[in-house]
Chain A
């Protein structure tokens, strides 16, 4: 279980959040910010980044409440990059409608669509769509079961608590890929790792702080559960998602990312009752065993390789680069470095090992 697996994809999972122009202190107008985001995806595509995900938020500081629409626009201007939700808040949506949308995205993109399904760490979508937070778990369980069925079954028969039954009507269009990729997105909740293992679904783990090597026991739980449930170990893929940012030097990357990070933590974090961010803590997270993959390409590539060994292998690593106070060119440079500098280093080191 500790052998290094054969493939490794490097990706980005960004949010379309409000961004402040660091030179003027004013917020980029929403239409401009949306264009910037599409340019981020386009830049990633051209730089050889393997995949790009967009988050889903129903919140005044974000423009990504309709992620599939954004992904469709990205699909039309890109050629190779895989496109996904990160994550789709499945509990608050209708699985049939979601499947239709992602199948359509798959057609537009020529088979480059993927879904990452999660419970979501925020429940702001619940009251918006008339759902009860108390149903958090049962909504997710039921809807996950249904969307997995829709992937296999063109004319599904289905009955549940949270949605009217399906009686064999067809669900169309069918995607371009024979089996639309569906990952489970998790945080640190143990039962989520067990669920993914039981179902044999690939697992995307979001790590937002602390030493990421501490996730090894949870990943082993996922793998052992999957094998015990009879799934082929090769299907039990793991992806890791962390904050990250690239610059031409370690110092520059850390300094470019800090102001927006501090701003976000000092506003959103404070509203959640958390203490003000400190630079010393931030620097510790960007260090050798922290959760932030921020630095020059050499530093970040080495940190990814070290973590892969420590966690018993993963096949996908994605960076959350979104920053609430950053010039677009700085962001595009970081994206470019991931594709043109980090990826070749990681692949070369793995091929040689």
Chain B
């Protein structure tokens, strides 16, 4: 797929992140279909006011019709989706594990939340990106004059290339972060997390993350409560 080819973007999760990505995509001339946890009519009403041009649908319809599907649910909710739902699809994992919200019992092994997602959807072509900046920062980066870069990690090179072309249309530069396992350099606690920077700065931050420099443990301090 090239940057100008028509495409349909599916988004699962109509919260802060999902609606923000929907807005960015529709403004870039991309066809967008989105699903949420409530009923479709209510979501359609929300979308009509907040992101006109975006279509609301069921999650099954989103998975069925989209070329690329963005997972924008709370991390503790993705496993409520059917495991075969995204077979063969390019799936952007834009989620982060956050202990205070997702609970300690959902902590991914080694902090690698995308590996958990890939295991749940074994036949999906999972790419990790759009997780490294909060939704406020995504909106800000979108209107900024300097382009902000996003790290992209995934095991399928063709899927990675498609996603990078998509990011370009959304208004972001991208940095190839390597295989999906390298996505741990994009999560909370890594030097790259929360950094709205250009591609060369992001590349250095990703290298710093890979070598363990400057990273912090992304944990809530008092485990006594959980």
Name A's B-contacting residues (CB within 8 A): 58-60, 121-124, 126-128, 133-134, 136-137, 187-191, 194, 198, 209-210, 214, 217-218, 220-221, 224-225, 228, 270-275
Contact = CB atoms under 8 A, between A and B. Distances in A.
Contact of B16 (A136, A188, A274): A188
A228 B42 CA distance: 12
A293 B101 CA distance: 28
B225 A124 contact: yes
A191 B80 CA distance: 19
A225 B48 CA distance: 11
B225 A60 contact: yes
A77 B220 CA distance: 36
Given A134-B77, A273-B190, A275-B194, A221 B46 contact: yes
Contact of A273 (B42, B139, B216, B221): B216
Given A124-B100, A225-B45, A275 B195 contact: yes
Contacts of B194: 273-275
Given A126-B103, A273-B218, A59 B225 contact: yes
Contacts of A187: 16
Contacts of B139: 210, 214
Contacts of B104: 127
Nearest to B49: A221
B38 interface: yes
A106 B17 CA distance: 39
Given A218-B50, A221-B49, A273-B193, 19 more contacts: A59-B222, A121-B100, A123-B101, A124-B100, A137-B37, A188-B135, A190-B46, A191-B15, A191-B36, A191-B46, A210-B140, A221-B50, A228-B45, A271-B220, A271-B221, A272-B100, A272-B220, A273-B189, A273-B190
A122 B101 contact: yes
22 contacts: A58-B225, A59-B225, A60-B225, A123-B101, A123-B103, A124-B100, A124-B225, A127-B103, A127-B225, A127-B226, A133-B102, A133-B106, A136-B74, A188-B16, A189-B15, A190-B16, A191-B38, A209-B136, A210-B139, A218-B50, A272-B188, A275-B195
Interface of B: 14-16, 19, 36-38, 42-43, 45-46, 49-50, 74, 76-77, 80, 98, 100-104, 106, 135-136, 139-140, 187-190, 193-195, 216, 218-222, 224-226
Contacts of A217: 49-50
B46 A270 contact: no
A48 to B, nearest CB: 34
A289 B16 CA distance: 21
Nearest to B190: A273
Contacts of B102: 123, 133
Contacts of B224: 60
A225 B41 CA distance: 12
A126 B76 CA distance: 13
A271 B219 contact: yes
Contacts of B220: 124, 271-272
B135 A194 contact: no
Contacts of B226: 124, 127
B110 to A, nearest CB: 15
A275 B193 CA distance: 7
Contacts of B225: 58-60, 124, 127-128
Which of A60, A190, A191, A273 has the most chain B CB atoms inside 10 A of its CB? A273
Contact of B101 (A60, A133, A190): A133
A136 B189 CA distance: 25
B214 to A, nearest CB: 10
Which of A134, A217, A218, A224 has the most chain B CB atoms inside 10 A of its CB? A134
Given A209-B136, A272-B100, A273-B193, A190 B221 contact: no
Given A60-B225, A270-B216, A273-B189, A133 B49 contact: no
Nearest to A122: B100
Nearest to B103: A133
Nearest to B215: A273
Contacts of A275: 193-195
A36 B18 CA distance: 42
Which of B42, B46, B76, B104 has the most chain A CB atoms inside 10 A of its CB? B46
A220 B188 contact: no
Given A214-B139, A273-B188, A191 B218 contact: no
A178 B190 CA distance: 53
**Shortest 8 CB-CB distances between A and B: which pairs?**
A273-B188, A273-B189, A273-B218, A133-B103, A210-B136, A275-B194, A60-B222, A188-B16
B39 to A, nearest CB: 10
Nearest to A192: B15
Contacts of A220: 49
A202 to B, nearest CB: 20
Nearest to B97: A273
B16 A189 contact: yes
